[in-house]
């Protein structure tokens, strides 16, 4: 299940190399208005507006990131392109009735989430198989969004990594299956960290799916401080870039 984009297609293509029957449920991405309203309710309108401004700036910088993204794909043998050989079913949301209907039709042995909205409790409880998530951050310290970025800002470079975990009712709170750590290159920044972490975690993601298909998962509870992360507001991102050289 995914909302689409280069990073999820790297995951889909990696799985398709190992499994002959991968299918994709492609949900419509949340609108910017929906994202803003949800964050404003939780964090306040100013913080939400600042976060949206950072994401807009990062999107404008994706052109500058193109060469680095090509390097990442080459280094990890990752393919971020849409694959017409993989069946795709479009749904409005992973929590929609049509998504549940599609799951029942496909009858999967395991479901993997890659860049989707949060799955509802009702949907999760209705699914007939394990649900996994690939998260670009080390849980539980870097749950939510931009985990790699925040690990660098907090001088915790040893925890620049990704987690493959079981999905539960929380946000990236499910038991861990695998964690992968890597290091950013000087050319990496907020637009390339997620792709780097996704690419580095592809082998672990394939192993997690294999484990689930065999009924041989070994979930572990991670201990330590738990923190839910969000994109930095624009002023924090600029300050960290200018003072810490972390963009």
Percent of the chain residues topping a pLDDT of 90? 92
Q: Give dist(CA 131, CA 24) in Å, integer.
A: 14
By the 8 A CB rule, do 201 and 134 touch?
yes
Confidence of residue 64 (pLDDT cuts 50, 70, 90): confident
For the cut 80, the answer to whether the pLDDT of residue 63 exceeds it is no
Question: Residue for token digits 């009712």?
Answer: 169
Percent of the chain residues topping a pLDDT of 70? 100
Cross-strand partners of 138: none
By the 8 A CB rule, do 135 and 163 touch?
yes
Q: Give dist(CA 28, CA 233) in Å, integer.
A: 25
For the cut 90, the answer to whether the pLDDT of residue 58 exceeds it is no
| pLDDT on residue 50 | 96
Q: Give dist(CA 220, CA 114) in Å, integer.
A: 20
Mean pLDDT within 2-15: 97
| pLDDT on residue 61 | 82
Q: Give dist(CA 130, CA 70) in Å, integer.
A: 33
Q: Give dist(CA 191, CA 69) in Å, integer.
A: 9
66-101 tens-digit pLDDT: 889 999 999 999 999 999 999 999 999 999 999 999
208-233 tens-digit pLDDT: 999 999 999 999 998 899 999 999 99
For the cut 80, the answer to whether the pLDDT of residue 12 exceeds it is yes
97-134 tens-digit pLDDT: 999 999 999 999 999 999 999 999 999 999 999 999 99
For the cut 90, the answer to whether the pLDDT of residue 180 exceeds it is yes
For the cut 90, the answer to whether the pLDDT of residue 59 exceeds it is no
Angle (nearest 5°) at CA 18 between 12 and 22: 45
SS3 state at 132 = strand
Confidence of residue 60 (pLDDT cuts 50, 70, 90): confident
């Amino acid at each position: 299940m995914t909302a689409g984009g280069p990073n999820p297609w790297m995951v889909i293509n990696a799985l398709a190399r190992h499994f002959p029957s991968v299918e994709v449920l492609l949900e419509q991405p949340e609108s910017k208005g929906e994202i803003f309203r949800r964050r404003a309710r939780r964090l306040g309108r100013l913080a939400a507006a600042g976060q949206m401004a950072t994401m807009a700036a990062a999107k404008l910088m994706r052109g500058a990131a193109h060469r680095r993204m090509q390097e990442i794909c080459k280094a990890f043998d990752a393919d971020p392109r849409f694959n017409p050989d993989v069946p795709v079913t479009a749904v409005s949301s992973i929590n929609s009735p049509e998504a549940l209907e599609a799951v029942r039709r496909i009858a999967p042995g395991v479901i993997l989430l890659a860049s989707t909205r949060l799955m509802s409790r009702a949907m999760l409880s209705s699914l007939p198989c394990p649900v996994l998530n690939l998260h670009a951050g080390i849980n539980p310290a870097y749950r939510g969004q931009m985990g790699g970025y925040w690990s660098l800002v907090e001088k915790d470079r040893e925890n620049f990594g990704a987690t493959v975990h079981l999905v539960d009712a929380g946000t990236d709170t499910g038991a861990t299956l695998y964690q992968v750590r890597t290091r950013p290159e000087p050319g990496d920044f907020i637009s390339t960290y997620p792709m780097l972490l996704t690419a580095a975690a592809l082998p672990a993601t394939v192993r997690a799916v294999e484990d689930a298909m065999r009924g041989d998962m070994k979930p572990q509870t991670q201990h330590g401080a738990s923190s839910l992360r969000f994109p930095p507001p624009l002023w924090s991102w600029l300050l960290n870039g200018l003072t810490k050289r972390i963009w």
